[in-house]
Structure 1
Amino acid sequence: MNKLNLLAMTKPELYKVIPEKIPSMKKFNINQIQTHIFKHGRPDIERFVNLSMEHRNCLNQHFEMSTPILKDEQISKDGTKKWLLNFGGDADIETVFIPDSHSKKVDFFKGTLCVSSQIGCSLNCSFCRTGTQKLMRNLQSHEIINQVLFALRQLGGFPLPVSNAKIVDNIVLMGQGEPLYNFANVSKACRSIIENLNYSPYRITLSTSGVAPLIPKVTTEIGCSLAVSLHAPNDSLRDVLVPINKTYPLKILMTSIQQYLRLHQYNKNRRVTFEYVMLDGVNDSDVHAKELIQLVGIEEFAAILRSANIATTVRVSRGSDISAACGQLKSKNESKYLRNK
């Protein structure tokens, strides 16, 4: 008998399905289950100690939790942690915790969790190591949620605090895969994280390489923040660096982003983050920042943008010594680091 995954269902679905399978279980029992999973981070039905043995046996008969197996952990010299997690068979993915080194308290137990949405990737961005791994499949919603629960358990984040002072204070869908090509599972996972783990939608950021038609749905179905992997200011260069641009060129992409922002007009603080990897001699000249000629360094590039009143942050890469930085996640151990240009 195929078991249903408790993490794969919303609370309304649980209220409907569990009593169908176990008629003696009431609404307050389902609330107890939710508390065990999301407030205390318990990964095993046997640890739902305030449920009767009969109820636990019935739950085990019809439902499962399917928590990931830790295959490897690497810790960077800057405190970044990377976990290789297995969800069965060849389903390996990497999840990264980036501590907040800029905190005034220098609190290395608070930071950002980078979550994967697919095993591999199909976009083949020329500078991205993840893109050299063939797409195997989409992650299911419970597998995405499980990355967050696993990280919180590893970092001592349970029991979940009542306040917003969480160890993982931001979640970014910037790991393996293109989240918008797995939108149904990503959307369901994000809504569960918002509802059950008490995260503000603004604490979750979905990063896309530019799947333009689905960008407005980030607002209407999730409500989370948006980051766009831009990496080039014109179509000819972006076609090379980010091949999805051939399908959704910059004009179409920017129109979808404007629609995303219009749908967020009720929140004047809402903005889109544009991600721009500086590639020496490729996209770092005045021509790309100000349509001028000479090559410049990162700070000069940023200064040009700031002079035009564009908010610009130069982000130092974290965890690069353990291949945990942006674009470096890859499930399989292969010697090839970057594809040949």
Structure 2
Amino acid sequence: MRRCLPCGLLVSLLLSGCASSDNTPVLRSLDSFKGESACYDRQTEPYTAVVDTHLHYRPFDGRAIPFNEVNDYLSQTSVRFANVYGIGQMLPSDSLCSNYLKCPGTPVSPTTRNDFVNAANMLEYKPDDLHLTLSMTFTDLSDPEPTVALMTLYEKEYPGLFHWMGEVNLVKQAQFNNRHKPATPQDITQWAGFMAELRARDYPITIHSDIGNDASPTLYLPLMERALALYPHNKIVWAHMGLSYEQTNMKASEHIAILSRLLDQYPNLMIDISWRILEDYYFSKAANQPLYVAFLNRYAERILPGSDFVAFRGNNFKVYQKELEATSRILQYLDDNAFRNIALGENYFKLLKLDYQAPMVCKR
């Protein structure tokens, strides 16, 4: 039986979460995930995830929290691994708008701007105590033809730096008033070139694709189903469990049935549980919670955690901390296997074939 090392030992202070003298949990270092470490004591260590797979280092308007400051936010929490997303759909550079929701009619258009800023920052400010995975977020899924050429440009300018694609929008109703158009079934067939390139590079792709809305619960589901059917060998991550603010009343049983069917049918599909909308409208409801916990336990190897924090300059560490806590809250109810795979990062390490491993959970 594995047990945490005594709190008085230095190695325990570095590698485990035993509480310090003031009862503050000691957070694990990045190095502690490089090999076998002290088991994870769920009674004394945080339930917040060690990996944030859905983190936007850049906002819609370019006025961002500095890169190093965002990294400092992570270092103050349990997070040691993160995906560096930009936001591929930006407001015009000369726009005074900072929140597209308050500026109907102002276009939010795909661009490479945020990705190149992130790449430059990674080269100049790569942290020693975090593992960051840079993602391409520029792709316009309704106009995919330029994607392969742009991927080639990225590799020329920043060789070996990008290892993920997304978050990219298949259908995002929140941006309909800002000239976003969903990709059509015909558009999806035109993804073949860049999806083949992603497979060749072994990059996952995170897709935002709303299932539907409260008036029509599965209105857009056929679009995601078509993408999965055409590209079953791609590592596809479905963002936010397919939900959105336009869909806050879906029955948990129906939602879970859709996800379960597609996970069973497509072995390369993964689901991310980012965005606090899931906690606020679904997970936290008393009747729903046991259903979602059972779902996450059942598909323990197919789930990725994330905050969906956006590094807009108006946000700060307290906002990130609250988002991380809210999006991680469901994790405290998972069984040990699911907690290790999801919260402690094992799924993420395997997906990217990283030379890291999650600690085992202490047995009691």
Instruction: Give me the TM-score of the superposition, normalised by structure 1.
Output: 0.43
The structure that has the greater radius of gyration is: 1
Instruction: Give me the TM-score of the superposition, normalised by structure 2.
Output: 0.41
Where relative contact order (Cα < 8 A, 6+ residues apart) is larger, the structure is 2
